[in-house]
Amino acid sequence: MGYFDFVDKVKYEGKTSKNPFAFRYYDADRVILGKTMREHLPFAMAWWHTLCASGTDMFGAGTADKSFESAPATMDHAKAKVDAGFEFMQKMGIEYFCFHDVDLVPEDADINVTNARLDEISDCILTKMQQTGIKCLWGTANMFGNPKFMNGAGSTNQVDVYCFAAAQIKKALDLTVKLGGKGYVFWGGREGYETLLNTDVKFEQENIAALMKMAVQYGRSIGFTGDFYIEPKPKEPMKHQYDFDAATAIGFLRQYGLDKDFKMNIEANHATLAGHTFQHELRISAINGMLGSIDANQGDLLLGWDTDEFPYDVYETTMCMYEVLKAGGLTGGFNFDAKNRRPSNTAEDMFHAHILGMDTFALGLIKAAELIEDGRIDNFVKQKYSSFNSEIGVKIRSGNATLQELSDYACAQKTTAPIESGRQEHLQCIVNQILF
Footprint of ligand XLS (CB under 6 A):
100, 140, 185, 187, 231, 233, 267, 295, 306, 337
Task: Give burial (CB, 10 Å; 0-12/13-18/19+) of 374.
Answer: middle
Strand partners for 266: 294
Pick between residue 95 and residue 295 the one whose CB is nearest to ligand XLS: 295
Query: Is residue 337 a contact residue for Ni ion (CB under 5 A)?
Result: yes
Give me the least distance between CB of 7 and ligand XLS, in Å please: 26
User: Interacting stretch for Ni ion, rule CB under 5 A, among 249-257, 298-306, 326-334, 357-365?
Assistant: 298-306
Give me the least distance between CB of 306 and ligand XLS, in Å please: 5
Cβ atoms 17, 349 nearer than 8 A: no
How many residues lie near Ni ion (CB under 5 A)? Answer: 4
Q: Choose the one of Ni ion, ligand XLS, none that binds residue 27, judging by a C-beta under 5 to 8 angstroms depending on kind.
A: none
Which is the catalytic residue, given 40, 49, 77, 100? 100
- CA dihedral over 3, 308, 73, 139, signed as positive or negative: positive
Query: What does DSSP assign to residue 15?
Result: T
Pick between residue 90 and residue 317 the one whose CB is nearest to ligand XLS: 317
Q: Choose the one of Ni ion, ligand XLS, none that binds residue 107, judging by a C-beta under 5 to 8 angstroms depending on kind.
A: none
- Based on the residue annotation, tell me whether 103 is a catalytic residue of this protein: yes
Pick between residue 77 and residue 182 the one whose CB is nearest to Ni ion: 182
Pick between residue 171 and residue 270 the one whose CB is nearest to Ni ion: 270
d(CA 297, CA 272): 11
Q: Which of 267, 281, 309, 323 binds Ni ion (CB under 5 A)?
A: 267
Q: Choose the one of ligand XLS, Ni ion, none that binds residue 190, judging by a C-beta under 5 to 8 angstroms depending on kind.
A: none
d(CA 211, CA 228): 13
Query: What does DSSP assign to residue 390?
Result: S
Residue type, 299: G
Query: Is residue 243 a contact residue for Ni ion (CB under 5 A)?
Result: no
Cβ atoms 371, 433 nearer than 8 A: no
Give me the least distance between CB of 138 and ligand XLS, in Å please: 9
Query: Is residue 295 a contact residue for Ni ion (CB under 5 A)?
Result: yes
Give me the least distance between CB of 89 and ligand XLS, in Å please: 18
Pick between residue 32 and residue 282 the one whose CB is nearest to Ni ion: 282
d(CA 210, CA 256): 8
Give me the least distance between CB of 353 and Ni ion, in Å please: 16
Neighbours of 346 (CB within 10 A): 13
Give me the least distance between CB of 360 and ligand XLS, in Å please: 18
- Based on the residue annotation, tell me whether 77 is a catalytic residue of this protein: no
Which is the catalytic residue, given 103, 174, 243, 295? 103
Q: Choose the one of ligand XLS, Ni ion, none that binds residue 95, judging by a C-beta under 5 to 8 angstroms depending on kind.
A: none
Q: What is the b/e burial string over 276-311, where b = at least 16 CB atoms within 10 angstroms of the residue's CB?
A: bebbbbbbbbbebebbbbbbbbbbeeeeeebbbbbb
d(CA 364, CA 325): 11
d(CA 292, CA 311): 19
Query: Is residue 27 a contact residue for Ni ion (CB under 5 A)?
Result: no
If we measure between CA atoms, which residue out of 298, 294, 301, 339 comes closest to residue 321?
Answer: 294
If we measure between CA atoms, which residue out of 299, 292, 287, 304 comes closest to residue 265?
Answer: 292
Pick between residue 191 and residue 306 the one whose CB is nearest to ligand XLS: 306
Q: What is the dihedral of CA 360, 366, 369, 375, to 10 degrees?
A: -100
d(CA 253, CA 245): 12
Left if phi > 0, otherwise alpha if psi is -120 to 50, otherwise beta: which for 61? Answer: beta
Q: Choose the one of Ni ion, ligand XLS, none that binds residue 140, judging by a C-beta under 5 to 8 angstroms depending on kind.
A: ligand XLS
d(CA 20, CA 348): 9
User: Interacting stretch for Ni ion, rule CB under 5 A, among 105-113, 188-196, 255-263, 294-302?
Assistant: 294-302
* H/E segment holding residue 365: helix 347-374
Give me the least distance between CB of 320 and Ni ion, in Å please: 15
Give me the least distance between CB of 103 and ligand XLS, in Å please: 10
Pick between residue 27 and residue 231 the one whose CB is nearest to ligand XLS: 231
User: Interacting stretch for Ni ion, rule CB under 5 A, among 58-66, 75-83, 206-214, 301-309?
Assistant: 301-309
Pick between residue 265 and residue 279 the one whose CB is nearest to ligand XLS: 265
Which residues, in sequence order, are CB contacts of 300 under 8 Å at separation 6+?
A: 307, 309
Query: Is residue 323 a contact residue for Ni ion (CB under 5 A)?
Result: no
Q: Choose the one of Ni ion, ligand XLS, none that binds residue 66, judging by a C-beta under 5 to 8 angstroms depending on kind.
A: none
Query: Is residue 306 a contact residue for Ni ion (CB under 5 A)?
Result: yes
If we measure between CA atoms, which residue out of 80, 113, 110, 118 comes closest to residue 4?
Answer: 80
Residues that bind Ni ion (CB under 5 A): 267, 295, 306, 337
Residues taking part in catalysis: 100, 103
